[in-house]
Amino acid sequence: MQDADASDAAQEVFRSVYSRIGQFQQGKTGGSFRGWLRAIVLNQARLHYRQSAKRAPTAGSAVDDWTEEESSSDETEGVIVRQGMVRRALELIQADFTDQTWRIFVRIALQNHDIAEVAAELRLTPNAIRQAKFRVIKRLRQELDGLL
């Protein structure tokens, strides 16, 4: 999300929590506050991505657009939401790593380059490449803990 969109979404989450806090009863619903809040955040994210997809210009005819819209499912929306959350988390954690560690992660984890090839290029051991990738993935998991 853009910063402005994220601010709007956060404001909507706060509005939803404020208006529905009376409906949440931990003992009776069996769920935790964190789980209840997570559901509100995910629903708001889904709504944002659904609305932005409708606003974005698409190629093809009106029939193609209608068919795509009809074939989308909650599962597809969930994947889009999760991908957006992972992208945002990656943006947030990038500053936690050196440029070299980040480049290694991108090449190995995101671009699927061969570990041995990257190690030879950077004059590092394959184990050092794996460790760099692992450090970023570990930090990413910490950032996304409880969200996915």
pLDDT digits (tens, 9 = 90+) for 83-132: 778 888 888 888 999 999 999 999 998 888 999 999 999 999 999 999 99
Q: Give me the pLDDT at residue 148, please.
A: 57
Domain boundary among 47, 72, 97: 72
pLDDT, residue 120, reads 95
Q: Are residues 59 and 84 in the same domain?
A: no
Residues 47 and 57 in one domain: yes
State the DSSP code for 1: -
60 and 112 in a single domain? The answer is no
How high is the mean pLDDT of the chain? Answer: 76
Q: Supply the DSSP string of 8-22, one letter for each residue.
A: HHHHHHHHHHHHHGG
User: What is the domain range of residue 81?
Assistant: 74-148
- Residue-wise pLDDT tens digits, 43-62: 777 777 776 655 544 444 43
Same domain, 60 and 88: no
User: What's the rounded Cα separation, in Å, for the pair 132 and 116?
Assistant: 14
**Which among 24, 47, 72 is the end of a domain?**
72
Question: What local confidence, expressed as pLDDT, does residue 75 receive?
Answer: 59
Would you state the structure tokens that stand for residue 116, as one six-digit string?
């041995």
Contact criterion met (CB below 8 Å) for 146 and 34: yes
DSSP-based helix, strand, coil % in the chain, nearest 5: 80, 0, 20
